[in-house]
């Protein structure tokens, strides 16, 4: 049973998240249209870059942060069966994050923070953008504290008992976020805000890029872990089976959280400020972090096979046809895994030094990014919303058929959109361009791919509208629905766990050691090496 406070908190967060998502989808379609050059009347580099920056902030920071907080509150109260620790803090976090979002939106929409939603000086946006983004993060830190305190209280009340897997993953994600956001927080507080306010004349972009690399890649796993949580704790039950292994799931989360952090330098392979040895270290870590993804893929497929065989599936692949494909959660995980396979392959290309040089700063990069984020991750956000909405609203889903159409069209649209993106990258199209100002055989050859991307974007925009419409109609329905969140049981019940799979104290120490090893010298060097006028903090 979800209490009234949790419902109100969760709905508030989720509606902000999905409102931002819908607005960002319209901007995304405008961008592919503008960049194609097919409609001269809408060509405007300034509007394009303002749109790209706003689209990125809405998708990467607002949708994700608010969704993760809202989903986290539901997971915490239903898996631990206890009320939210300090709801006043929860509302304060929501208020601070919301105010920060509005504050950041003002310069974004007026074209004064067209920094491509990244934090790479010397491109500097308006100070309101940086202060707003900081407040968005500060609000989410309160959520992290609440998650940690709720797990601690539960463990004190249930000494030795295994923490529910859903909460274990959620607290792990909160810790990951605290570690992850520290890098960009240092950059914004000590470099970008003072620079934007005119308090200093210069800063060291090398240090800024290093601090942003601290945050840049782990943040992807912050977005991804709720999807993995659904993979493990919701999908098996919805498929009609059991979780393959609770212990393997915990091990996957631990490895993911520990090794997601010290790997950001594969974004700096082409940058000169870090030595090759550090890049090699981070590159190896990037390949290590692919292991929990392989484990997750294996575990989820094994769980689905159990469900398929329990439903009567026979033979080597007969269980696949026995799965409840019309269940939105089951359909979503299948489509999500398909996109994860393709997106993961692209990620391995990015992590490889030589191949990275081939696709560096080309259209391949946003193609890969969209496939992992908007494909693998966001489609599971849809599935979670379709599952939670009827339970929290007490009303049946407005249209299950519409949900299935929406999921398929999102998958198809994503495929049509991102495949040309990857091809254009291999053909040499740069990323971060608003258009092509010259015509040559090379750039003219890009036109069919641009046309395909416009069509894919339209399909996705229609799908996004269907999603929000379905949720809104569910909310306004007069019918009644009663249901409870059902977490998947492991096929072999867990009665006892080693502490390292039931707590993060040890892993926090491991993370601290790895971060000191991988970022210590690379950051400190900026404070003792000669930088010819660009001081580290600008003081």
d(CA 359, CA 267) in angstroms, rounded, equals: 12
Q: Which of 250, 282, 370, 422 is catalytic?
A: 370
Annotated active-site residue 431? The verdict is yes
Sign of CA pseudo-dihedral 33, 37, 39, 42: positive
Given 152, 326, 432, 492, which residue is catalytic?
A: 432
Task: Indicate if 221 belongs to the active site.
Answer: yes
Distance CA 252, CA 295 (A): 6
Q: Report the candidate in 56, 57, 34 with the shortest Cα–Cα distance to residue 46.
A: 34
CA dihedral of 496, 499, 504, 507, whole degrees rounded to 10: -130
- Of these residues, 368, 381, 422, 487, which one is catalytic? 368
**DSSP states of 360-386 as a string?**
TTBTHHHHHHHIIIIIIIHHHHHHHHH
d(CA 313, CA 320): 7
Identify the active-site residue in 67, 168, 431, 519.
431
Q: How far apart are CA 459 and CA 153, in angstroms?
A: 46
Query: Which residue in the list 190, 221, 265, 467 is annotated as catalytic?
Result: 221
At how many degrees (to 10) do helices 378-393 and 328-351 cross?
Answer: 150
**Comparing C-alpha atoms, which of 378, 297, 301, 373 is closest to residue 341?**
297
Counting Cα atoms < 13 Å in the Cβ hemisphere of 357 gives 4
| Catalytic pick among 55, 217, 250, 266 | 217
Q: Name every residue whose Cβ is closer than 8 Å to that of residue 167 and which is 6 or more positions away in sequence.
A: 75, 76, 79, 80, 147, 150, 151, 154
3-state SS, residue 490: strand
Q: Is 243 helix (H, G, I), strand (E, B) or coil?
A: strand
And the tokens for 236? 């098996």
Residue 253 structure tokens: 């989360």
Q: What is the DSSP letter of 362?
A: B
Residue 83 phi, psi (nearest 5): -70, 165
Known catalytic membership, residue 369? yes
Catalytic one of 117, 119, 265, 369:
369
Give the active site residues: 217, 221, 368-370, 431-432
């Amino acid at each position: 049973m979800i209490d009234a406070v949790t419902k109100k908190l969760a709905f508030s967060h989720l509606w902000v998240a999905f409102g931002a998502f819908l607005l960002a989808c319209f901007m995304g379609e405008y961008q592919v249209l503008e960049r194609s050059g097919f409609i001269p009347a809408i060509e405007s580099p300034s509007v394009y870059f303002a749109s790209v920056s706003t689209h990125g902030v809405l998708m990467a920071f607002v949708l994700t942060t608010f969704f993760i907080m809202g989903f986290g509150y539901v997971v915490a109260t239903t898996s631990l069966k206890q009320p939210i620790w300090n709801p006043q803090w929860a509302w304060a976090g929501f208020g601070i994050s919301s105010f920060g979002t509005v504050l950041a939106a003002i310069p974004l929409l007026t074209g004064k923070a067209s920094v491509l939603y990244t934090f790479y000086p010397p491109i500097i946006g308006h100070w309101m953008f940086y202060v707003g983004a900081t407040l968005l993060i500060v609000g989410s830190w309160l959520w992290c504290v609440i998650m940690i305190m709720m797990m601690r209280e539960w463990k004190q009340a249930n000494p030795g008992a295994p923490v529910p897997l859903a909460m274990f993953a959620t607290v792990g994600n909160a810790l990951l976020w605290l570690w992850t956001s520290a890098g960009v927080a240092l950059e914004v507080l000590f470099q970008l805000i003072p620079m934007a306010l005119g308090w200093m004349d210069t800063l060291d972009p090398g240090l800024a890029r290093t601090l942003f690399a601290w945050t840049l890649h782990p943040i992807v796993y912050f977005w991804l872990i709720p999807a993995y949580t659904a993979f493990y704790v919701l999908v098996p039950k919805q498929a009609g089976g059991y979780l393959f292994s609770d212990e393997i799931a915990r091990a996957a989360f631990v490895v993911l959280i520990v090794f997601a952090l010290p790997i950001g330098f594969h974004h700096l392979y082409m940058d000169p400020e870090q030595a090759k040895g550090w890049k090699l270290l981070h590159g190896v870590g990037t390949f290590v972090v692919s292991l929990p993804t392989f484990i997750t893929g294996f575990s989820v497929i094994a769980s689905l096979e159990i469900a398929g065989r329990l439903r009567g599936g026979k033979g080597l692949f007969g269980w696949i046809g026995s799965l409840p494909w019309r269940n939105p959660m089951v359909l979503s995980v299948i489509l999500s895994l398909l996109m994860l396979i393709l997106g993961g392959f692209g990620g391995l290309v990015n992590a490889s030094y030589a191949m990275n040089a081939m696709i560096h700063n080309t259209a391949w990069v946003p193609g890969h990014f969209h496939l992992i984020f908007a494909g693998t991750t966001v489609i599971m956000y849809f599935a979670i919303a379709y599952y939670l909405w009827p339970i929290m609203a007490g009303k049946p889903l407005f249209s299950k058929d519409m949900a299935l159409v929406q999921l398929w069209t999102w998958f198809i649209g994503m495929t049509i959109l991102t495949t040309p993106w990857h091809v254009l990258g291999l053909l040499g199209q740069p990323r971060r361009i608003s258009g092509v100002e010259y015509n040559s055989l090379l750039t003219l050859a890009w036109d069919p791919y641009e046309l395909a991307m416009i069509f894919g974007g339209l399909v996705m925009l229609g799908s996004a509208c269907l999603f929000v419409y379905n949720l809104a109609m569910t909310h306004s329905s007069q019918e009644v629905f009663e249901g409870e969140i059902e977490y998947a049981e492991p096929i072999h019940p867990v009665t006892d766990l080693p502490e390292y799979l039931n707590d993060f104290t040890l892993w926090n120490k491991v993370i601290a050691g790895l971060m000191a090893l991988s970022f210590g010298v690379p950051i400190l060097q900026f404070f003792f090496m000669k930088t010819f006028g660009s001081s580290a903090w600008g003081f």
